[in-house]
Structure 1
C-alpha cells in the first residue's frame, strides 16, 4: 500500500505523457543500452572474429586487396563514402541552414547548427575515449588516419542527415514531404556506413556503433526541438 502511494505520482505523470514522448524516451534508453553493451563486447574482444569474417567475405580469397563484385561497385562506394566526410557534411549543413534562414526559420537554423556541431564533438570524444585501432586484416581502399570506433563517417552521417532531415521535416507543409525527408536521411546514413565496411577501413561493429550513437544524438535533438521550437502554421494543413 505504501509502495502504491509512492509510485502513484510517477504513474500519473507517465499517463499524461504523449505517445511520441514515451516512444522517444524508450528509444533513447534502448539505444544507450545497446551502445554501452556494444562497447563492452568490443573491449572484451567478443566481436573480433565476426568482424574479421565479414571483412574477409568482402574480398577475393586469393587477393585481399581486391573487393568482391564488379569494378564499378568499388568505384561507386568510394564516391558514396565521401557523402559522410566532414567537408561534404559541413557544406550540406550550411546550405540547409541557409535554406531555413530564407524560409524565415532562424530559430531552427541556429538549433540545427548547434546540434550538428555538438554531434561532431561527441564523435571525437568517443573515438578518443574508446581508442580502437583500425582493422588491418584487409588492405584499406581509401586513406584513413584516425581511430576506428565509432565510425566517424557512420556517426556523423547519422548526426547530420538525421538531424537535418528531422528539422527540415518540421518545416514541410505536408506529411508526404516530411516522410520523404526522413526516409532520404535514413537512406544516406545507411549507404555511407555500408561503404566504410566495404572499403575495409572500419569493422562492422564500428559502423553499428556509429549508427547507434548518431541516431541517439539525432533523436535527442529532435525531441528537444519538438519541445522548444515553434511549428509553422502551414504544417497543420495536411494530416
Structure 2
C-alpha cells in the first residue's frame, strides 16, 4: 500500500529505537514498583532530591505549578485531547486522531492499574502514588504530538528520535516538577509515570498502525481475502 509509510503514526525509521527505549522504560517501571511496593514514606532517593510531602513552592512559582498540574486534571486533560483530536480530523488524519485518544487512555489506564498493584501511598491517607498519572498523561500527550510531527515532517531516525525524546523529557520534567513541588507525588513516582508513558505510547502507536494497515485485498473474482 503506497500510503502506508505516509499515514503511519509510528514512523518506520523510529520503530527500533523507540522499541528499545520502551522496553527499558518498562523495566524501570517494574523495578521501581517492586522496590517501593506497599511503602507509605519517601525513599532514600526521594529524600535526597527533596522533601516530597512539603509544599516547596511559593507564589509566583506556585501558580505555575498549579497551572501545570491542571493539564493533568480531567478538565485540562480533556481539553488537550479534544483540541488535538479535532486538529487531526481537520487535517484529515483519522489514524492520528485515534492515536491521540488511545495513547493517553492506554497510558493513564496503565498507571491506574499499576497504582493498585504497587500500593504505594503518600500523606498517610491512602492516596495511591506510584506511578504518577499526571506525569504519565502529559508525557504521553507530548510523545503522541512529537510522533505525529516527526512523521509529518518526514524526519529521519536521529532527528525523529531526538524530537520525540526531547518532547517527552520537557513534558515529563514540567509535570514532574509540579507534582513534587505541590507535594502530590514522590520524585520516584514521577520517574515511574514518565517511564510508563515511554513504554506504553510507542506500543499503542504500533498497535494502531497494525490494525489500520492490516491488508485485506479481495481477489478480482470476489474470492477469499488475501492477507499478508
So what's the TM-score if we normalise by structure 2?
0.71
Matched, 1:147 2:141: no
Asked if residue 25 in structure 1 is aligned to residue 19 in structure 2, the reply is yes
CA shift in 2, pair 1:185/1:23, >3 Å: closer
Instruction: Identify the residue that residue 140 of structure 1 maps to in structure 2.
Output: none
Q: Which ranges of structure 2 fall in alignment gaps of 5 or more residues?
A: 1-11, 214-228
1:76-119 residue CA offsets vs partner (Å, 9 max, x unmatched): 21222212222212111111111111111122212332232222
CA distance in 1, matches of 2:200, 2:187: 20
Residue 71 of structure 1, aligned match among 48, 55, 59: 59
Q: 1:179 to 1:36 in 2, by over 3 A?
A: closer
Q: 1:84 & 1:189 partners in 2: Cα distance?
A: 11
Q: Distance in 1 between matches of 2:20 and 2:163?
A: 23
Count of residue correspondences: 198
- The answer to whether 1:35 aligns with 2:29 is yes
Matched, 1:125 2:125: no
Q: Residues 185, 50 of structure 1: CA spacing in aligned structure 2 closer, same or farther, 3 A cutoff? A: closer
Q: Relative contact order (C-alpha < 8 Å, sep 6+): which is higher?
A: 2
| Pair 1:206 & 2:183 matched | no
Q: Secondary structure at the match of 1:43?
A: coil
Cα RMSD between the aligned structures?
A: 3.3
Report the Cα distance in structure 1 between the residues aligned to 2:138 and 2:173, rounded to whole angstroms.
9
- Partner of 2:70 in structure 1? 82
* Greater C-alpha Rg: 1
